[in-house]
Chains A and B, each alone.
Chain A
Amino acid sequence: MLRFKTFAIASFIAAALAAGANMLSAQTTAPAGDAKHGQQLYVADGCYECHNTLGQGTGSRAPGAGPGPNLAPAPISYAAFVKQVRTPRLSMPPYDAKLLSDQDVADIYAFLAAQPPSKDPHSIALLNVVTTGSAPDTSRGAVVFATNCALCHGASGQGGIGPSLIGESSRKDANAVAAIVKNPSGQMPKLYPGLLSDGDVTAVAAYVESLH
């Protein structure tokens, strides 16, 4: 088998995961929270059971990856976080106001948002040997999707916390997809213009259109 070290795309994914917390926090309106109290609640109320003790989770929501996606250091937007806590999709149990007050939720979010950036996997010798194959001429849209969208919509766009995007081209054209990315509703986080550029949005919209 071929064995290559990973190149720019993996670094981009890692950097986005690492930097996401600050970038997202800056564009959302999370209320002030007590991160220390949030950590206590996170442990006491069992969040760590699926998402591990620092919110690192087990990776994506893809089947076989483990029970809980990572929550930190790049938490989803506060609005999306609250919605998932109160009225969760998939198998996550609900935590209503009887169990967690609004301030409790804000405190937990503060704990997650306070997690330091993750290491670049290429700086970790034990990870830098993972076989990935050679870096392909990957489309920019695929990279943007893998980095920002796959966690909720699935690695292949098959859906998860977010809806399936398979066959989206039969429902919306690229412009409509781009418009949703720029001005999302519901749980979908707003990544533009903070995290995504105009070029990123155009590229990821084209990529979504290609999912069949």
Chain B
Amino acid sequence: MAKKDSGGVDRRAFITGIGAAGAATAAVAGATPTPVEAQPTALPPVPQSYATTIGQLEQAPPSYNGPGADALHIANPGSDYMVDVMMGLGYKYVAACPGTTFRGLQESVISYAIGKMEWLSCAHEDISASMAHGYAKATGKPMAIMVHNTVGLQHATMGIYNCWADRVPMLVMLGNYADGALRSSAADWDHSMVDNAAMCRGYIKYDEQPGSLQHYKESMLRGHGIMMTAPMGPMIMVCEQTLQEDTQSRKPQPSLPAYVAATQPAPDPNAIHQVAQMLVAAKNPVIIADRAVRSQADVKNLVALAEALQVPVIDKLGRMNFPTNHYLNGSAGMASSADLILALDPGDLWSYVDRLPESIARASVRTARPDCKVISIDSELLVGAGNYQDKQRFYQADFPVAADAATTLPYLVEAVNSAMSAARRNENPQREAALREAFYLKRSADMAYAAIGWDSQPISVARMCMELWNAIKGDEWALVSPQGFESNWPSRLWDFTDYGQFHGGSGAAGIGYIGGAAIGAALGHRDNGGRLCVSLQGDGDFLMGPGAMWTAAHHRIPLLMVIHNNRAWYQETMSVQILASRRDRHPERGRVGTEIVDPNINYAKIAEGFGVYAEPQITQPSELGPAIARAIKVVKSGHPALLDIVAQGR
């Protein structure tokens, strides 16, 4: 950890000591003694399990509301009000690794908001951010994280950036000592900034540094509305130490805010009409969707659009946009023969019509037909420029529509149904037959490819995935991790039918995302009916945030973590190998620096150290099924479990 302490003196103990000494002095001088704080009698004896204590506290009403204000006490601290505002906006959780600059808020969450908010203890701020990211994708609701000034925010930045690039909301509460005269240690100075959100401003939607509680409340409402409007993204609220810890001397307006969500960006009705006409007229259209939906209702709308037109949907799987077992789930190659592409919040629009091979020449090749027209319904047009290049390469659509795709879909379905002539409807059976055939061939080919090396060692990734699906498909399940490093075998072979079953990738391909994001999503699913959650996590990703396991164990978050142990940061292994050959030297050294070997790591043993159930490391294909079954039994009992599977690279 990069955090500095305050010279070896525990700050809380130090302050408590000052208070006790002060009280004694006052008594000797004959001044009115400070009442001895009544100890809360409702508290249970110190239990062995801290988590148990938390659980009992949350069930019990607050029995102690604090003393009145005097020289040694603070009544009605501002952080209580700040937490009230958070709760008014629906925040239920705060994920955080502790840091002094937000201690006022922390104390309010854990004591003032007992039973209303839960504190999620994290071992690293990047885990907090990733956890909030995963939670928001699973529930549609933002989670708050609290981060220590400077060092905590520096730790959290990759997770915040992933969240931004994935267009997902997250509230970052950043503690701060703005007044240098109040900084009591060297560490306080080290953990202070002038422009607090500056390091993140290229990848957040909003930030504010309010100077009063009234200002805080208004900023929270403004920021929440901006954050939750598509395209969504994180916000940072800088929380002054004085606002948190001082008495609410300048009381804000008494009534707590009633947040009213704004409607999402909808398209020009004329544009909808025009898009519908173009889709109906096209001979060979395709739909490409990346972050096009946010709910199962949106999925159904997309299915309705595709079925009305009998047009394939190429799902880029930034979200689970379209059922993988629907015959209209198309293959990526279909875009190259299309005469019209409808791109729905496409992310990387350029890549649908052009390709840049990873070659020395770096010469782009148009993959779409020269006469192919492109319609893009894209909320990205509503985002201003930033320092970061996550907007991807520019492509000039023939018909760009600035709107949120999910909001647009029902209007577009209606417009298409109105535009369909009888003659056009009569074409649908023929189109359907061809698309059913294409789907059959695609899936059958993937079955055949999956069978190759089925019994191999290291274990086939396709087999690993199918053993996993076999164990979960009878339940309501969710894959709460990306699947690209598993060659997309789940989406190629599993039946994704519900939006909640898959949440896409990290957004910015920031490795270290999965551990936190998976437990955040699993927490969300636990609260929303209890899907059986599984994650596929590379060993390289795991190593960047293994502490996430402790959070899962500590908070009893049920999740099966499958470690795809290919003993490398494998993407980079392949990447360096390419250059070794292009430079015509030492291909046998292409793996130096990207392999995770010598010693080989046993992730099962690490998991046990964190208090997570684990099976012994799995190297034999025949071990997979029974081990998965045992681990799922643990997960169904409400606990996390981990399987360390030594498998093929991809």
Report which A residues bind B (CB closer than 8 A): 1, 3, 6, 9-10, 13-14, 17, 44-46, 48-50, 52-54, 56-60, 62-68, 70, 72-73, 90-96, 98-99, 118-121, 124, 126-127, 129-139, 142-143, 146, 150, 154-159, 164, 166-167, 211-212
7 tightest Cβ-Cβ pairs between the two chains A and B: A93-B581, A66-B487, A10-B444, A158-B336, A56-B453, A156-B333, A59-B449
User: What are 11 of the A-B contact pairs (CB < 8 Å)?
Assistant: A13-B441, A14-B451, A52-B648, A54-B456, A59-B450, A127-B450, A127-B466, A134-B440, A139-B437, A156-B331, A156-B336
Interface residue SS majority, chain B: helix
Let me know if B487 and A132 touch, CB within 8 A. no
Q: Given that A44-B588, A96-B584 are known contacts, is A1 also in contact with B449, CB under 8 Å in the complex?
A: no
**B111 interfacial contact with A, CB 8 Å:** no
> Considering the chains assembled together, what is the distance between the CA atoms of A131 and B333 in angstroms?
20
Q: Which residue of A lies closest to B326 (CB)?
A: A1
Let me know if A59 and B492 touch, CB within 8 A. yes
Q: Which residue of A lies closest to B446 (CB)?
A: A59
Chain A nearest CB, measured from B511 CB (Å):
16
> Considering the chains assembled together, what is the distance between the CA atoms of A15 and B470 in angstroms?
24
Name the contact of B444 in the complex, choosing from A13, A56, A64 (C-beta under 8 A): A13
Task: Name 10 extra pairs, CB < 8 A, besides A57-B449, A58-B449.
Answer: A46-B573, A46-B580, A56-B449, A56-B460, A59-B449, A73-B452, A118-B452, A129-B470, A134-B436, A159-B367
> Considering the chains assembled together, what is the distance between the CA atoms of A45 and B584 in angstroms?
12
Chain B nearest CB, measured from A53 CB (Å):
6
Chain A nearest CB, measured from B344 CB (Å):
17
**B442 interfacial contact with A, CB 8 Å:** yes
Chain B nearest CB, measured from A202 CB (Å):
19
Let me know if A13 and B332 touch, CB within 8 A. no
Q: Give chain B residues whose Cβ lies under 8 Å from the Cβ of A53.
A: 453, 456, 458, 648
**B107 interfacial contact with A, CB 8 Å:** no
Let me know if A3 and B325 touch, CB within 8 A. yes
Q: Which residue of A lies closest to B581 (CB)?
A: A93
Chain B nearest CB, measured from A103 CB (Å):
16
Let me know if B578 and A158 touch, CB within 8 A. no
Q: Give chain B residues whose Cβ lies under 8 Å from the Cβ of A63.
A: 332-333
Q: Given that A48-B649, A132-B440 are known contacts, is A62 also in contact with B333, CB under 8 Å in the complex?
A: yes
> Considering the chains assembled together, what is the distance between the CA atoms of A98 and B650 in angstroms?
28
Let me know if A126 and B437 touch, CB within 8 A. no
> Considering the chains assembled together, what is the distance between the CA atoms of A49 and B522 in angstroms?
32
Q: Give chain A residues whose Cβ lies under 8 Å from the Cβ of B369.
A: 166-167
Q: Give chain A residues whose Cβ lies under 8 Å from the Cβ of B438.
A: 156
Q: What are the interface flags for B564-579 relative to A under an 8 Å C-beta threshold, 1 for contact and 0 otherwise? A: 0000001001100111
Let me know if A138 and B357 touch, CB within 8 A. no
> Considering the chains assembled together, what is the distance between the CA atoms of A179 and B573 in angstroms?
42
**Which residues of B583-601 are within 8 A (CB) of A?**
584, 587-588, 590-591
> Considering the chains assembled together, what is the distance between the CA atoms of A158 and B580 in angstroms?
30
Chain B nearest CB, measured from A68 CB (Å):
7
**B281 interfacial contact with A, CB 8 Å:** no
**B608 interfacial contact with A, CB 8 Å:** no
> Considering the chains assembled together, what is the distance between the CA atoms of A135 and B441 in angstroms?
9
Let me know if B650 and A66 touch, CB within 8 A. yes
Q: Give chain B residues whose Cβ lies under 8 Å from the Cβ of A166.
A: 336-337, 369
Let me know if A136 and B436 touch, CB within 8 A. yes
Q: Give chain A residues whose Cβ lies under 8 Å from the Cβ of B333.
A: 62-63, 154-158
Interface residue SS majority, chain A: loop
Q: Which residue of B lies closest to A98 (CB)?
A: B584
Tell me how many residue pairs across A and B have CB atoms closer than 8 Å. Answer: 222
Let me know if B587 and A159 touch, CB within 8 A. no
Name the contact of B448 in the complex, choosing from A13, A66, A158 (C-beta under 8 A): A13
Let me know if B327 and A133 touch, CB within 8 A. yes
**B188 interfacial contact with A, CB 8 Å:** no
Let me know if A133 and B584 touch, CB within 8 A. no
Q: Which residue of B lies closest to A49 (CB)?
A: B574
Name the contact of A138 in the complex, choosing from B358, B441, B447 (C-beta under 8 A): B441
**B582 interfacial contact with A, CB 8 Å:** yes
Name the contact of B359 in the complex, choosing from A90, A167, A211 (C-beta under 8 A): A90
Chain B nearest CB, measured from A89 CB (Å):
8
Chain B nearest CB, measured from A58 CB (Å):
4
Q: Which residue of A lies closest to B463 (CB)?
A: A126
> Considering the chains assembled together, what is the distance between the CA atoms of A136 and B442 in angstroms?
13
> Considering the chains assembled together, what is the distance between the CA atoms of A57 and B466 in angstroms?
17
Q: Give chain A residues whose Cβ lies under 8 Å from the Cβ of B458.
A: 53
Q: Given that A59-B487, A99-B581 are known contacts, is A130 also in contact with B454, CB under 8 Å in the complex?
A: no
Q: Give chain B residues whose Cβ lies under 8 Å from the Cβ of A129.
A: 470
> Considering the chains assembled together, what is the distance between the CA atoms of A159 and B591 in angstroms?
30
Q: Give chain A residues whose Cβ lies under 8 Å from the Cβ of B446.
A: 59, 130
Q: Give chain A residues whose Cβ lies under 8 Å from the Cβ of B449.
A: 17, 56-60, 70
Let me know if A94 and B327 touch, CB within 8 A. no
Q: Give chain A residues whose Cβ lies under 8 Å from the Cβ of B437.
A: 136-139, 142
> Considering the chains assembled together, what is the distance between the CA atoms of A1 and B488 in angstroms?
21
Chain B nearest CB, measured from A100 CB (Å):
8
Q: Which residue of B lies closest to A15 (CB)?
A: B448
Name the contact of B443 in the complex, choosing from A56, A70, A133 (C-beta under 8 A): A133
Chain A nearest CB, measured from B301 CB (Å):
17
Name the contact of A130 in the complex, choosing from B493, B573, B584 (C-beta under 8 A): B493
Q: Which residue of B lies closest to A94 (CB)?
A: B581
> Considering the chains assembled together, what is the distance between the CA atoms of A48 and B487 in angstroms?
15
Chain B nearest CB, measured from A105 CB (Å):
13
Q: Give chain A residues whose Cβ lies under 8 Å from the Cβ of B448.
A: 10, 13-14, 17, 118, 121
**Which residues of B464-491 are within 8 A (CB) of A?**
466-467, 469-470, 484, 487-488
> Considering the chains assembled together, what is the distance between the CA atoms of A56 and B294 in angstroms?
36
Q: Give chain B residues whose Cβ lies under 8 Å from the Cβ of A132.
A: 439-440, 443-444, 447
**B495 interfacial contact with A, CB 8 Å:** yes
Q: Which residue of A lies closest to B370 (CB)?
A: A167
Q: Give chain B residues whose Cβ lies under 8 Å from the Cβ of A48.
A: 649
Chain B nearest CB, measured from A121 CB (Å):
4
